[in-house]
Amino acid sequence: MKLFAVIFFLIVSLIYPQKVNFFGKQAPGNLMVGKTANISSVLLDGKNIPFDDGIFVFGFDRDDKGTHTIKIIFKNGAGKTKKFKLEKGNFKIEKINSAKKQFSSPPANELARIEHERKEMKNARRRVGKINSALFESGFERPVKGGKVTGVFGSQRILNGKPKSPHDGFDIAAPKGTPVYAMADGVVILAGKNFYYNGNFILIDHGLSLSSIYLHLNKMFVKNGDRVKKGEKIGEIGTTGRSTGPHLHWSVRWMKKRINPESVLKIGQF
């Protein structure tokens, strides 16, 4: 009987391997990918998060701190837990006292339009997370080849003495018409046109609640519902919306967590 139990345990262990690999760095604003097999459920800080076969993704917001716990339950009932301790993030503060007035506060006659667009954007964000496949499985790439980095994730600008919200993306300046590529496979949730702040922009759902957005585009080559591949040309750099010059504002989210796009590029193959 004991021999049978040992053999059974060995067979189950072979069928249900319980090694888990993590890709990415544990830090505020960073994205991480987990890979294993035979998952029954994955929990982050006690809450279920989506997974696709043996792949799951999770991230830490710019302002997250303390210790966070990932718990994986396998199909054989076994579990594995890993804790991630975050050090306080160190982000750049910029003071700009020569900013033009129109870039500090919008005119009153634009407020109704801004509110309408805010609601449309909110509704689009709600549609992200309904794809339960890891469309991003082939990895990630930079959406612009070359260009000059003019804004980094997490930085905070103080315009004419007034603190603004922390920068949630990564800005790349390049000539108007420079190609913009999808950072990973995904589905276009919203190809927005002529928004007050965003200008022309594209929001893509990459599956498992991971999304990316590309702002201030001059041209767009995709529409709502289109399936795109990593490296596919989706638009061109412009200066539409609230922009002082041709550049791409590229930002990434996992659920509602603001993710540093640079951390996505550092994950590599998984």
pLDDT tens for residues 73-115?
999 999 999 999 999 888 887 777 765 554 567 899 999 999 9
Record the tokens describing residue 11, joined without a space.
């067979």
Q: Does the structural domain 93-265 have CATH classification 2.70.70.10?
A: yes
pLDDT of residue 229: 98
CA distances 66 to 26, 63, 155, 237, Å, are 11, 10, 21, 38
Average pLDDT over residues 232-238: 98
pLDDT of residue 221: 98
Average pLDDT over residues 258-263: 97
H runs (alpha helix) in the chain: 2-15, 111-127, 261-265
Bigger pLDDT: 210 vs 15: 210
User: What is the per-residue pLDDT across 25-35, written as a single tens digit (0 to 9) for each?
Assistant: 999 999 999 99
pLDDT of residue 8: 46
Query: Domain 2-86: which CATH class?
Result: mainly beta
* Strand pairing class (156-159; 93-96): parallel
The residues of the chain that CATH labels 2.70.70.10 are 93-265
Confidence grade of residue 234 (pLDDT, cut at 50, 70, 90): very high
Average pLDDT over residues 210-232: 98
* Strand pairing class (156-159; 162-163): antiparallel
Say what the pTM is: 0.89
| Phi-psi region at 106: left, alpha or beta (left = phi > 0; alpha = psi -120 to 50) | beta
Who contacts 58 (Cβ-Cβ below 8 Å, separation ≥6)? 31, 32, 34, 44, 49, 70, 254
The residues of the chain that CATH labels 2.60.40 are 2-86
